[in-house]
Amino acid sequence: MTDLDLLHFEQLKRDVQAQYLKEYTPSYDEISKWKGIDIIYFQEDLRKKAKGNISEKSFYTYFKSSPVLKLPRIDMLNLLSIYAGYDSWYDFKKNHLFAGELLTDEKDLSEDEAKELEKTISTALNLPKTEDQPKKIDFTSEENVDLQKNNTENQLIEQKQSLTEVSKTEEIKPLKKSYQKTAWIATASVFVILLGLLGFKDEIFQKTYTYHFTDADRNLGVQSDIEIKVIKENESPILYRIKPGEQFIYPTKDKTLKMEISSTVYEDLEVNRNLENAPEKETIELKPDDYKMALYYFSIKDINGENSEQLISQKRKQLENLISNSATITQVYDSDIYGLETLDKQDYITLVTTPTTSLKNLNVIEMKKDKGKIVSIKFKISNHENNK
């Protein structure tokens, strides 16, 4: 990557902005000021014209700050170049050369790579020839001063003494080995028992509790995701996400259990259990929250067909009645640069009544109501790059 590549990317961002402004009128002309519904409309147009997508996180990383310090991945560069009217990122750079810039084919070696290859070849050609030479081994024979000298008598005496010492040693060795073997077996047995207790102490002392969740009004299993926070004293909460129809299985050695249960369509519930006398299997009923269910339904309901305008108008009126005029509405982003954005009531209603593919991934994280009106909404639109 060169500094010129970063300058080219700034050029590409301006071309992308100009391309979008040909057909749309966002809240701001400058792309770095786009947010919320402007980004969603841009993603929709990018999917339609370039057959690809970039996530909100990438948008905030590369379009909210200028100049950027690093280039996006090549697939994102190619996607944005195609949207701006070029065949590829290479084609875009070729049509935006700076004075004195030489654009080489991407398949060619760079100057540094060529120098390194030349150095490697040169080194290989000048390697000194070395051969393994066999080592010369000198054999010398030991001199026998007197081959005829033979001390037979001395050999017999020494041999008898050796046999006596060996017999005594053999009597001591079996006893010593027997004691050592017994001690080793005993030590190993104790070690294995202790190791087993340490390795399986959790399984020995813990119990497993199973919880099944049902709809209190319909007497059926819940049909939406459930989030369970297990609260422990002096510890951070542990979050579990349970899919529709799944059971919550929780092994523990604790004597008490505190859970906070929440869902997009059910009322929040706090559960406290004394596990010393609690059943190992239990069914917990969740009461539907009419406001949550209505908001969730109206937010994700797909509006298409011949009567789409009439359905949109009906949907807007229903949301107008549900949401307080002073409601706090927050959108959460997967971005290190920009994490939260506040919308007013009308912006939110416009967002959820505009038929876009992004609404399929809308998730209401939290909702609060007061005196018959929704006063707080926190939501997120999950998005993944390269979704088509």
Q: What is the pLDDT of residues 243-259, one digit of tens each?
A: 888 889 989 888 889 99
At residue 134 the predicted structure's pLDDT band, cuts being 50, 70 and 90, is very low
More confident residue, 341 or 299: 341
Q: Answer yes or no: is pLDDT of 120 > 70.
A: no
- Name, in order, each residue with C-beta under 8 angstroms of 10's C-beta and a sequence gap of 6 or more: 66, 67, 68
Instruction: Please check the confidence at residue 347 and state whether its pLDDT lies above 80.
Output: yes
Radius of gyration of the chain (CA): 39
How far is it between the farthest Cα atoms of the chain?
128
User: Mind listing the pLDDT tens digit for each residue in 308-333?
Assistant: 677 778 878 888 888 999 999 998 87
- Give the integer Cα–Cα distance in Å for 16 and 309: 31
Highest mean pLDDT among 54-68, 84-98, 365-379: 84-98
Which pair of tokens denotes residue 194?
Answer: 């202790």
Task: Identify which has the larger pLDDT, 23 or 110.
Answer: 23
- Cβ partners under 8 Å of residue 127, min gap 6: none
Q: 200-235, pLDDT tens digit by residue?
A: 555 566 788 999 899 887 777 887 788 899 998 888
pLDDT of residue 125: 39
Q: Which two tokens stand for residue 37?
A: 């519904």
Is the per-residue pLDDT at 20 higher than 70?
yes
CA distance 151 to 158: 11
**Residue-level pLDDT at 301:** 59
The model's pTM: 0.43
Maximum average pLDDT range among 15-19, 62-66, 106-110, 301-305 = 15-19
